[in-house]
Amino acid sequence: MDVPVKSSSENKQLTDQFGRTINYLRLSVTDRCDLRCRYCMAEDMTFLPKSDVLTLEELCELSSAFIARGVRRIRLTGGEPLVRKNILWLVRALGSKVEQGLLDEVTLTTNGTQLPTMAEDLYRAGVRRINVSLDTLSAEGFKAISRRDKLETVLEGIQAAKAAGLRVKINTVAMRNFNETEIPDLVEWAVQEGLDLTLIETMPLGEVQDARESSYLPLTAVKNALEQRFTLEPSTHKTGGPARYFSVGDSKSRLGMITPLTNNFCDGCNRVRVTCTGRIYMCLGQDDHIDLRAALRSQGKEEELSAALDTAMGLKPKGHDFAMSNGQMVGKVDRHMSQTGG
């Protein structure tokens, strides 16, 4: 019987040059989207030709390479992951890895527009938690920020997800002159619906029509405003991610805050991102990357991918450089969030 030759790095836990354990993969399955959120995309985005995008089978093989190196959680993202044709095939494949104990969790981040028809299938495929992005409860506001008239569909999608048994966390980008005064109402709504909600500071990712500085809202200010209405207590809840969590009064909902600009969160970073073309980015806010596609399509793909992941670990930077300086956002990167995978 042939014994497969294992490279020395195979099965070793991915650890970066600063000793951080990497056990979380955010996998972008498409750069396309049915919305055009103003802080994320320009209206006239040029999307990748379909021939550049990895097949679902290749995305699954890539996932296996990460799992072999100690990744325990995979989040599908994009662009909008649920507009990728046959995406449920990949979700099922990853769900079966959870069932086999090879993964702890498969999750996804979605804008919610496809949830009315897909929520039950996602649950059946093995998903138990999802993040839904929602910046306002006003139909006009939703149309203004996403350039599409889909608030009703998204709200219907959130109800469908709850009914299917999925735990839902809302992601809200905090924006001056947009949802600044509405955020306490959004938190109240999340509490009433039994949902968690995480606020995010706008990051300078890719060119968009509006100047990012004009909508930048530090969460320090938002927290002060929220404390006028709610009792927020720091929570011990940890996900290994960038959010700091608070309990909201005596409700079951948790409030998260992701503060890349006012409070860098990189010390405990446990993640890498892979684009739908197979590029691994070690940091959302830096350009260092490696193309995994050649390794994925090579003869000895398991060894080649494992070796490429080791190279990537050596290139993972200490952190991003996003900051406000004299009223200007610095540390910008050219890639939109929808290209790297949110």
Least Å distance between CB 205 and ligand SAM?
4
Binding of residue 87 to ligand SAM (CB under 6 A): no
Look up residue 153 and give its amino acid.
Answer: T
Q: Is 79 among the residues that bind ligand SF4 (CB under 6 A)?
A: yes
Q: Are 293 and 54 in contact (CB under 8 A)?
A: yes
18's tokens? 């600063």
Least distance to ligand SF4, CB of residue 122, Å:
17
Tokens 């994009």 locate to: 78
Q: Does residue number 313 form part of the binding site for ligand SF4 (CB under 6 A)?
A: no
Q: According to the binding rule CB under 6 A, does residue 166 interact with ligand SF4?
A: no
* Distance, CA of 80 to CA of 235 (rounded, Å): 30
By CB under 6 A, the residues from 247 to 266 that bind ligand SAM are none
Q: Which residue is nearest to ligand SAM (CB)?
A: 342
Find tokens 């992701």 and name the residue.
258
Binding residues for ligand SAM restricted to 153-172, rule: CB under 6 A = 171
CB of 342 to ligand SAM, least distance (A): 2
Q: Is 337 in the site for ligand SAM (CB under 6 A)?
A: yes
Residue 14 binds ligand SF4, judged by CB under 6 A: no
Amino acid making up residue 165:
G
Q: Measured from the CB of residue 182, what is the shortest distance to ligand SAM in angstroms?
A: 15
Please identify, using beta-carbon distances, which residue of 95 and 342 lies nearer to ligand SAM.
Answer: 342
Least distance from ligand SF4 to the Cβ atom of residue 13, Å: 31
According to the binding rule CB under 6 A, does residue 111 interact with ligand SF4? yes
110 sits near ligand SAM (criterion: CB under 6 A): yes
**Total residues interacting with ligand SF4, rule: CB under 6 A:** 12
Hey, which residues does 258 pair with through a beta bridge? Answer: 200
Q: In this structure, are strands 73-77 and 24-28 parallel, antiparallel, or unpaired?
A: parallel
Q: Is 215 in the site for ligand SF4 (CB under 6 A)?
A: no
* HSE-CB for 222 with a 13 A CA cutoff: 30
Q: Which of 109, 179, 270, 306 binds ligand SAM (CB under 6 A)?
A: 109
3-state secondary structure at position 194: coil
Minimum distance from residue 102 beta carbon to ligand SAM (Å): 25
Give the angle 331-198-140 at the CA atoms, nearest 5°.
Answer: 90
Quick check: 80 binds ligand SAM (CB under 6 A)?
Answer: yes
* DSSP structure string for 263-327: S--GGG--EEEE-TTSEEES-TTS--EEE-HHHHTSTTHHHHHHHHHHHHHHH--S----EEETT
Helices marked H in the chain: 56-68, 87-99, 115-125, 139-146, 151-164, 183-193, 212-215, 219-227, 293-296, 301-315, 337-340
Among 29-37, 177-185, 187-195, 255-263, the segment contacting ligand SF4 (CB under 6 A): 29-37
Q: Which is nearer to ligand SF4, 41 or 155 (CB)?
A: 41
Binding site for ligand SAM (CB under 6 A): 33, 39-40, 77-78, 80, 109-111, 133, 171, 173, 200, 202-203, 205, 337-338, 342
